[in-house]
Structure 1
């Protein structure tokens, strides 16, 4: 048997007759205890092959992009706010106090406003660097700077910690996106389809062997395995007649 010469759509068409609850072939299989026990595996491999044959973009990728965009809006607002607040306040107070605020600003936002142009992955790393720079001594200074009016008043530290948390969220979503893209790449490369075809072939070979052992009546054998044998015969003929122009899918 050369099931490897079957096209994927032919494999699916054949096993579809076995999984269709309304088909005569399914009814015949259910009537045979030896073969009915194999149906769960047939159902499973048909589904696996069908999914592998139609790889699609994971909808979670779009969700991640939307979440990252929303996080980034607030993330960038905090960077602009921290940088602008310290810069403007330093201008107002001037002198040594102003210079101290500029020094603090450059510790907290060493790359300045160009930080806003970084990739999500880079922004995640930048937030982690900020967490490392936020030593107890620096945090004492930022906690003493209060912004806004009571009851909504917050310390500068609170905004910095929010920035760090948002950067961590961006990093987590970038990690998830990377995993999903890797999985999608595997599907696009066809490796998942090759694996699914190989599994289908193994399962169907075993199924046919069980059918031989069951010594089915000729009419039942034709009903259950006739479409498979016909598809196989045509696939073999196709492979022989066009060995170079019609290379079968790897399996």
Structure 2
């Protein structure tokens, strides 16, 4: 007898009789200290195996994409606005003041407007680079530049700090997306299902061993392990007949 011959659906059906709170088998398990000690492990692996058997796209991935799009709109607006503001103001002022503004623009946005075409992760790195460049001395210059009028007026520094914050948000979303895609890839390749099946087998083997040591009454043994024995018997028979079915007929 080998649990590995069980199909995943059979494993789940068997362990469902132990995890169902209304199942007579679970009531019998709870009534036996030797068996109930393993119940939390059984509940856990049943849940894990069920999830691994039904891989699907995580809806959070769509949420992240929508969030990144929203963040990127404002992120790009700040870059485009800061670059354009400093460029236009420099042209209006001309002379040394204008040249200073162009120099400041090139420090703040060294890649120019092509920065808008970078990937989200690259934009996150770009924002971190800006944070590193924004020294106290440079902040003194950006603090003195105001954009807008009245209550809406802000310093250039405020916009730069918003740019940095948005870049950090893009980086965090990319990290989260990377983790979720890795998990999804693992599910797609079936490795998560294999791991879950192997763990289910280990847990159930330990559960059966504890039951043998407990010397259950025949009625209790049949109630708790009857479905497992039946599924096991059918799975072993199926495994024995499989090789014979693959033998080609002689001419």
Per the normalisation by structure 2, the TM-score is 0.87
Partner-residue secondary structure (3-state), 1:22? coil
Partner-residue secondary structure (3-state), 2:151? coil
Distance 1:33 1:132, change over 3 A: closer
* Cross-structure match for 1:200: 200
Cα distance in structure 2, aligned partners of 1:100 and 1:175: 38
- Farther off after superposition, 58-67 or 234-243: 58-67
Cα distance in structure 1, aligned partners of 2:138 and 2:33: 75
Cα distance in structure 1, aligned partners of 2:108 and 2:34: 72
Q: CA deviation at 1:14?
A: 0.9
Partner-residue secondary structure (3-state), 2:150? coil
Cα distance in structure 1, aligned partners of 2:193 and 2:244: 22
Q: CA deviation at 1:244?
A: 9.2
- Unaligned segments of structure 2, at least 5 residues: 247-251
Q: CA deviation at 1:91?
A: 2.2
Superposed, 1:56-205 pairs within 5 Å as 56-205=56-205
Q: Deviations over 1:16-51 (max 9, x none)?
A: 112223333333334444333433332222122112
Cα distance in structure 2, aligned partners of 1:109 and 1:36: 64
Cα distance in structure 1, aligned partners of 2:192 and 2:245: 24
Distance 1:81 1:181, change over 3 A: same
- Farther off after superposition, 80-89 or 17-26: 17-26
Cα distance in structure 1, aligned partners of 2:173 and 2:91: 38
Partner-residue secondary structure (3-state), 1:54? coil
Q: Deviations over 1:72-118 (max 9, x none)?
A: 11111101111111121122223333232222222211211111111
Cα distance in structure 2, aligned partners of 1:183 and 1:84: 42
Distance 1:157 1:27, change over 3 A: closer
Cα distance in structure 1, aligned partners of 2:245 and 2:131: 61
Q: CA deviation at 1:4?
A: 0.6
* Cross-structure match for 1:249: none
Q: Deviations over 1:105-136 (max 9, x none)?
A: 22211211111111111101111222222233
Superposed, 1:231-250 pairs within 5 Å as 231-243=231-243
Distance 1:65 1:245, change over 3 A: farther
CA RMSD of aligned residues (A): 2.3
* Cross-structure match for 1:228: 228
